[in-house]
Amino acid sequence: MFQGGYILRCVAKTMTLRLSDEQAGDLEAMARVDGVPVSEAVRVAIDERIKARRSDREFQARLRKLIAENQRALERLAK
């Protein structure tokens, strides 16, 4: 992808996910019904969760608090 004079590279990150047998079975069944690989079903679920968090006011308030705390710590370290 080319944007603003820079080449943007998307690097996939491989992760390991531990699921109960029931969760794994449900996930596999959902993926089969939807006709997608399990990895795609997981990515869709993650995207939906991220979208929900972005519109969750309580989560956003906790996030802003954490950002402020981390900013203060980083500024102290930079001295």
Would residue 72 count as lying in a domain?
Answer: yes
Would residue 68 count as lying in a domain?
Answer: yes
Would residue 39 count as lying in a domain?
Answer: yes
Would residue 25 count as lying in a domain?
Answer: no
Domain, as residue range, for 69: 31-79
Would residue 26 count as lying in a domain?
Answer: no
How many whole angstroms separate alpha carbon 35 and alpha carbon 19? 21
Q: What is the pLDDT of residues 3-25, one digit of tens each?
A: 556 666 677 889 899 999 999 99
CB 1 within 8 A of CB 10: yes
The pTM score is 0.72
- Give the N- to C-terminal CA distance of the chain in Å, as an integer: 38
Average pLDDT over residues 32-42: 96
**Counted domains in the chain:** 1
Would residue 17 count as lying in a domain?
Answer: no
